[in-house]
Structure 1
Amino acid sequence: MRCGRRGWASAPSPRRWTIPDGRAARTEFLRAATAVLAAFAVSGLFSSLAPSFLREELHVHNVAAVGAEVGLLFIVALIAQVAAPERWIAGRRPASAFLVAGVAVFEAGLWTRSLPTFVAGTLLAGTGIGLAFRRGVGVAQRLADPRRRADLLSTYFLFAYTGTIVPTLALGLLDQTINQDGATLILAVAVVATTLASALSRPTTAIA
């Protein structure tokens, strides 16, 4: 503790990670957390790939154009969070469908060296990222103990930022041993598998 002008103040303490009590609640939270991990993995993978792909493969050297393409993913994700129909946000599968389609399409754009295909994949993936993130925050808030809501949300964001960091590091490591196309294909398959596992897992009704 320390003393300030207005008296004693507690030193800030980090939030502890936690998961909800009860089997059904844990399962629902972990599905939402896995979905946002996959969504942010797409974001990290895209952010790592887009600048070099545009410059080296499509010979786009205008910095503003490269930045606009990278920013497009995040703009679309933001719009999806605030403007998507409620039925898209409430269900698990719409976000996963957009993510899988987005990864498939922008991966096709990478292999075919097609800018329109890559942009189309960006739009689809951005929509999936926005839907997955908003739904996951809602699930975490609904399942959290009111006294420990920040703890559960910090766990949720831990999954999200893990999804951002790990694929980026993995891409750097794989790119040193195989070509970029092969490295991105491996990571794309891993992201799709994680997304489908989250979307297609059966709901749990039993409470521990």
Structure 2
Amino acid sequence: MDRERRGRLRCLLAGAVFAVCMAGTTLPTPLYSLYQEKFGFSELTVTVVYAVYAFGVIGILLLAGNASDTVGRRPVLLWGLGLAAASAVCFLCATGLGWLYAGRLLSGFSAGLCTGAATAYVMDLAPPGGAARATLVATAANMGGLGCGPLLAGVLAQYADRPLYLPFAVHLVLIAGSAAVLARLPETVTDRGPVGAVRPQRPGLPPQVRTVFGPAAAASFAGFALFGVFTSVSPAFLARSLDVTDHAVSGLVVALAFFASIAGQTAVGRIGVARSLPLGCAVLLAGLALLAGALRWDLLALVVLSAAVGGAGQGMTFRGALSAVAAASPPEQRAAVISTLFVVAYTGISVPVIGVGVLVGPIGLEGAGLVFIACMAVLVSLAAAYLLRRPVPAKG
């Protein structure tokens, strides 16, 4: 096998490992209603269990987000797979709410380690001239893995026995296979140091980035918030308001949002970063409007459309935001700036979700969803208005 083909194969295999790790983070999504029945907790608790994952991601990003640059890609990815396996074991052993919190926290740690390390590893393994293809592989692996998690769990929960066990047992098998694949891939960091050399990564925002960062971060926050609400409470809405109790359908609707994000991120390469941010905000607003219509009139078709349109808008805004802030950052501070953007994004996937859970009690699931949509629509509209008046530079 020639060098170019070997590089492409290794790049794809690293992407597959990345996808397996990310699939575990969304695997419980269509199963929350079953856990509610088993343990008897509220919708607020569902959102808190979900949000614990994001807190784990943020913690790892701040404490060890650059670990793979120091100790190597493979050791960090192996740790990430180990934490994913530990998370699956927590769900397999779950006899109470504490196990779910532990499982979600470990899943967040896993994603926090794997996201940066796997993305860099895919890029490292790409053959010469394959940077663009590697970026697409990393994007597809990330969002594709997140989409495959609820789809796999939903299908197994609906059509196989032991719905709260089989998805996690299957994921453990996939993790073992991924570890075997990883063992055969080469390490790409040659100048490695000890684990003790890893230092907390302080988020940074140099002055020249601030005008770009504000609207980019606002759009990213809203896009990830939409994903957070969709993955945490949409199965409950489908079951209670639309009588959709098929777990496979619930998993498919959630997966559609992540798959649409891949399409949105891919489109950025054709339309350019400068136009993708304001256009992505407009698409995200359309997705929010469709979700509001779905909540108001209890229509499954609008839920599906909101997943597709909102997911595409999230993909466009996030890739556009990432490209814009990276291009505006000084090289020596780029990693810190990108970490800051990810911290904002994962705050979006956690804090608004808990807010929705708090509001479910006094005003109901639909009312809480409409309040969330109104707040996110204002945020996205302000970001879009700013970007139309002061577009980001076309480079990047």
Q: TM-score, normalised by structure 1?
A: 0.88
**Bigger Cα displacement from structure 2, 89-98 vs 31-40:** 89-98
- 1:27-106 equivalences in 2 (<5 Å): 27-84=211-268, 86-87=270-271, 89-91=273-275, 92-106=277-291
Question: 2:286 & 2:202 partners in 1: Cα distance?
Answer: 35
Structure 1 residues 4-43: aligned runs within 5 Å: 9=194, 10-22=196-208, 25-43=209-227
SS in 1 for 2:349: helix
CA distance in 1, matches of 2:243, 2:263: 29
Instruction: Find out whether 1:184 has 2:184 as its counterpart.
Output: no
1:175 and 2:360 are equivalent in the alignment: yes
Return the alpha-carbon distance in structure 2 between the equivalents of residues 194 and 7 of structure 1.
Answer: 43
Query: Offset of 1:46 from its aligned partner?
Result: 1.5
- Give the whole-Å Cα distance in 1 for the aligned partners of 2:236 and 2:390: 41
From the superposition, tell whether residues 145 and 118 of structure 1 become closer, same or farther in structure 2 (CA, over 3 Å): same
Contact 1:36 1:132 in 2 (8 A): yes
- In structure 2, C-alpha distance between the alignment counterparts of 1:89 and 1:7, rounded to whole Å: 35
SS class of match (1:97): helix
Contact 2:258 2:311 in 1 (8 A): yes
User: For each residue in 1:100-129, what CA deviation from the matched residue of structure 2 results, as whole angstroms up to 9, or x when unmatched?
Assistant: 110111210121111111111111101100
- The 1:117–1:8 alpha-carbon spacing in structure 2 relative to 1, beyond 3 Å, is closer
Moved more, 152-161 or 88-97: 88-97
**Residue range with higher mean Cα deviation, 175-184 or 88-97:** 88-97
Distance 1:88 1:56, change over 3 A: farther
1:135 equivalenced with 2:320 (yes/no)? yes
* CA displacement at 1:97 relative to structure 2: 0.7
Shift of 1:189: 0.5
AA at the equivalent of 1:154: S
Q: Which moved more, 1:124-133 or 1:140-149?
A: 140-149
Preserved CA contact (<8 Å) 2:283 2:310: yes
Which letter maps to 1:187? F
Partners of 1:43 and 1:88 lie apart in 2 by 24
Q: TM-score, normalised by structure 2?
A: 0.47
> Given residue 230 of structure 2, which amino acid in structure 1 is its aligned partner?
F
The Cα shift of 1:84 comes to 4.8
Distance of aligned partners of 1:37 and 1:176 in 2 relative to their CA distance in 1, 3 Å threshold: same
Partner of 2:311: 126
**Alpha-carbon contact 2:274-2:391 (below 8 Å) kept:** no
Aligned match of 1:116: 301
Range moving further from structure 2, 157-166 or 140-149: 140-149
CA distance in 1, matches of 2:347, 2:332: 25
Deviation at 1:8, TM superposition (A): 6.4
What is the number of equivalent residue pairs in this alignment? 198
Are the counterparts in 2 of residues 137 and 153 from structure 1 also a CA contact under 8 Å? yes
Structure 1 consecutive aligned stretches of length 4 or more whose deviation exceeds 3 Å: none
For residues 116 and 131 of structure 1, the distance between their equivalents in structure 2, rounded to whole angstroms, comes to: 23
Identity %: 31
Deviations 1:59-83 (A, max 9, x none): 2222111101111100100121124
Q: Distance in 2 between matches of 1:150 and 1:7?
A: 18
Which has the larger helix fraction? 2
Cα 1:142–1:114 shift into 2, 3 Å: same
Report SS of the residue matched to 1:176.
helix
Question: Residue 95 of structure 1: CA displacement?
Answer: 0.6
- CA offset digits 1:29-76 (Å, max 9, x no partner): 211111101111111122223101111122222211110111110010
Q: Secondary structure of 2:350's partner? A: helix
